[in-house]
């Protein structure tokens, strides 16, 4: 009898909490969630030398954050550093770091902890794309894709998450891709790395939730192609539904998602509908839809840079 009462109690608690969580979401559509203040927060951005990384740095500079900029390109990163200072950043620290190398990540992370302090917002943005069909892509390039686009997330979390847990305060941001949600012709290694990044970030969100670490937030960003040079030459058959995104727009949405502590950000919004269709459409119908949307041919004109611009 007592076990039945306990089960009934657990069910009622579950239903009550579920109802409250749904009401909370519905209320957020009427009363937008207040954006958090990131002034003084130590924000680390990987791949900050150009493209999204640079634009993210400038946005957080304007918000008064302390910036820690990581990139393999010293000259480009110093330029971002200077621009961030001009944008109003209180403090900016630039470091050369190849995020694909575990030992280098750990070494530079230790340097950051000693010279700057505990990172409270970690933005894993660095990435590369080979843009080659699977059988035409050299093994070393595929390994590099996985090292930069996925494994670097493991090493940076290992380096900075312990302090976040100790302080019960932090924010983990994964800049992934729509190619981390849906397989794309001509992007096998890239998709593999981005799927892995999404799975890892989502798993860590669940792990932290189970540990009741309510002060540590997660944001997973999955945009369609962005005009940064990384996917230069790629085209979209239906720009109204799947536009090549403007970098400034994308960064505004990303920062807004971080400030509102949003878990998932897909851009454009059509991706949410695409994921809904993927969950129940027959495989053949899904392939017909992908063909109709031109997904099979988005990489046909690819001439982009191997490193994220």
Average pLDDT taken over every residue of the chain: 92
pLDDT category of residue 195 using cuts at 50, 70 and 90: very high
Asked whether the whole model's pTM tops 0.75, one would answer yes
> b or e along 11-23 (b: 16 or more beta carbons within 10 Å of the residue's beta carbon)?
eeeeeeeeeeeee
In this structure, are residues 69 and 80 in contact, taking their beta carbons and an 8 Å threshold? yes
Determine the Cα–Cα distance for residues 102 and 135; give it in Å rounded to an integer. Answer: 27
Mean pLDDT of 43-55: 96
CATH architecture type of domain 37-297: 3-Layer(aba) Sandwich (3.40)
Q: Catalytic residue numbers? A: 190
Mean pLDDT of 179-205: 96
DSSP one-letter string for 279-302: TTS-HHHHHHHHHHTTGGGTTTT-
pLDDT at 260 over 90: yes
Determine the Cα–Cα distance for residues 151 and 166; give it in Å rounded to an integer. Answer: 24
pLDDT at 203 over 80: yes
Strand partners, 70: 46, 95
Mean pLDDT of 274-284: 92
Determine the Cα–Cα distance for residues 46 and 56; give it in Å rounded to an integer. Answer: 10
Confidence (pLDDT) at 309 = 34
Question: How do residues 120-162 score in pLDDT, each as one tens digit?
Answer: 999 999 999 999 999 999 999 999 999 999 999 999 999 999 9
Strands of 109-229, DSSP E: 121-124, 170-175, 216-223
């Amino acid at each position: 009898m007592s076990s039945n009462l306990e089960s009934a109690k657990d069910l009622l608690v579950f239903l009550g909490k579920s109802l409250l969580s749904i009401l909370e979401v519905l209320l957020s559509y009427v009363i937008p969630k207040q954006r958090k203040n990131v002034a003084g927060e130590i924000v680390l951005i990987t791949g900050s030398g150009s493209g999204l990384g640079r634009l993210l740095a400038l946005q957080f500079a304007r918000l008064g954050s302390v910036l820690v900029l990581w990139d393999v390109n010293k000259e480009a990163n110093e330029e971002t550093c200077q621009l961030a200072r001009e944008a109003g950043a209180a403090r900016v620290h630039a470091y050369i770091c190849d995020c694909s190398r575990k030992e280098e990540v750990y070494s530079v992370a230790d340097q950051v902890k000693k010279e700057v302090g505990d990172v409270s917002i970690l933005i894993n943005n660095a990435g590369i794309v080979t843009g080659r069909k699977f059988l035409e892509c050299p093994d070393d390039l595929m390994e590099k894709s996985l090292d930069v686009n996925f494994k670097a997330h493991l090493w940076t979390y290992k380096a900075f998450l312990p302090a976040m847990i100790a302080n019960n305060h932090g924010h983990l941001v994964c800049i992934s891709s729509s190619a981390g949600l849906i397989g794309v012709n001509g992007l096998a290694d890239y998709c593999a790395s981005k799927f892995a990044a999404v799975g890892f970030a989502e798993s860590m969100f669940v792990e932290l939730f189970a540990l009741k670490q309510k002060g540590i937030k997660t944001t997973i960003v999955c945009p369609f192609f962005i005009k940064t040079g990384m996917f230069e030459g790629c085209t979209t058959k239906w720009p109204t539904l799947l536009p090549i995104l403007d970098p400034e727009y994308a960064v505004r949405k990303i920062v807004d998602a971080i400030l509102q502590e949003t878990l998932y950000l897909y851009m454009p919004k059509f991706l949410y509908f695409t994921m809904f269709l993927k969950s129940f459409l027959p495989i053949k119908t899904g392939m017909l839809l992908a063909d109709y949307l031109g997904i099979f041919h988005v990489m046909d004109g690819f001439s982009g840079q191997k490193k994220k611009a």
